[in-house]
Structure 1
Amino acid sequence: MSSEMETNIGAVERLKEYSETEKEAPWQIQETAPPNSWPQVGRVEFRNYCLCYREDLDFVLRHINVTINGGEKDPILFSGSLRMNLDPFSQYSDEEVWTSLELAHLKDFVSALPDKGDHECAEGGENLR
């Protein structure tokens, strides 16, 4: 009973402390428009980008040029063939798909799969890790 009383007294002390604490300034919402120089569209652009993990190491990325426009995002793999995930609307030839895999340094990996481009992907690509 005494430990319960001690616990309750601690709660009362906290209430007293909070009630005596000076109140913060009221929340002020400023509804101002961004300046005219604010970009009207989102875009991330890398020009001749290079990256190394430490200053004393060689670059692991060299001369990367890429533009990511607003609304674009990283790919999500769906259940279905790898080919369907790479070209869901069948807009590109097999040669173009293999060229893209080669440029992404994935040609050897996909070539080693038993069904190659017809490899059946699990949701989220779980069976490709």
Structure 2
Amino acid sequence: AYHLENEWQKKFEKLNDLWSVRFVIFNEGKKWATLWASIISSIVMAGVVVIGWNSMSASKLAVAITASLTFANIGVQIVQMQVDMQSRMTSYDRIRFYSTNLPQEVKRSNINPIDPPEDWPNSGRIQFNNVTFRYRSGLPYVLKDVSFDLKGGEKIGVCGRTGAGKSSLLFALFRLIELDPKLQPKMIDLDTGFLVENDQTEEPNKGRVLIDEIDISKVDLSRVRRSIAIIPQDPTLFTGTLRYNLDIGGKYLNDDSRLWEVLDMVEMKDVIAGLPLGLDTQVAEGGSNFSAGQRQLICFGRAIL
């Protein structure tokens, strides 16, 4: 797509060359360390022969020479294992870094946090107030001063050219991009893998998103994402049972009637009832045993639940 095959091929060749250079250097360094270990072992063995030639009997000298040969082999192995361990410590350090220092999403603002009622959102009203954000530091804004008010129950279509920011609205709605600068996690440099500070001279993200007049930045992040749902153009089904794909959180483990009710709402009840295992039918990887339309309807049912 987009005729970028040559660009990706050049990138692959560049990365492959960088890896090959490091691999050759590693192997040459290992051979160099082994050479020096062999030289030291040979000196030790020669010393044993010189010292023992006049002070040991033939049998004792033979034992000493055999022991020095064993020492030489063990010395080489120790050096090789040490070199391997040092090279692998780099991988360990990188794993430890990514397992402990990755930026984490902040659950909510500490300023006047809100715990919404159990039935939130009730009406489904969505308000965007002067929403302005970029995906990361150094990039242009994808949305700038966007404001609108969607009443609960309305069906809204968002139209625009490619790159206009239609899908970006969902990033703010699901808090995939934080509008409050205090909630924004640090970024990771793609070349080095280390944390980088945001440009302090840049204008930060700003604006507010309200659902039923509650600022979602002040609500626990998991609660926000549990309370809203999205059905993408390419629906996603997970390997497992149909029951699991409908009720991932296990909220209706003992209430199949609710699952069948939702399947009836999305007009999939007869299809699932006709399967030998019903709700326990195994979903193939990517939902390949269902048509694209059926996958969308199953995702629709999951969103309702």
So what's the TM-score if we normalise by structure 1?
0.49
Please state which structure has a larger fraction of its residues in helix. 2
- More RCO (CA 8 Å, sep 6+): 1
Please state which structure has a larger fraction of its residues in strand. 1
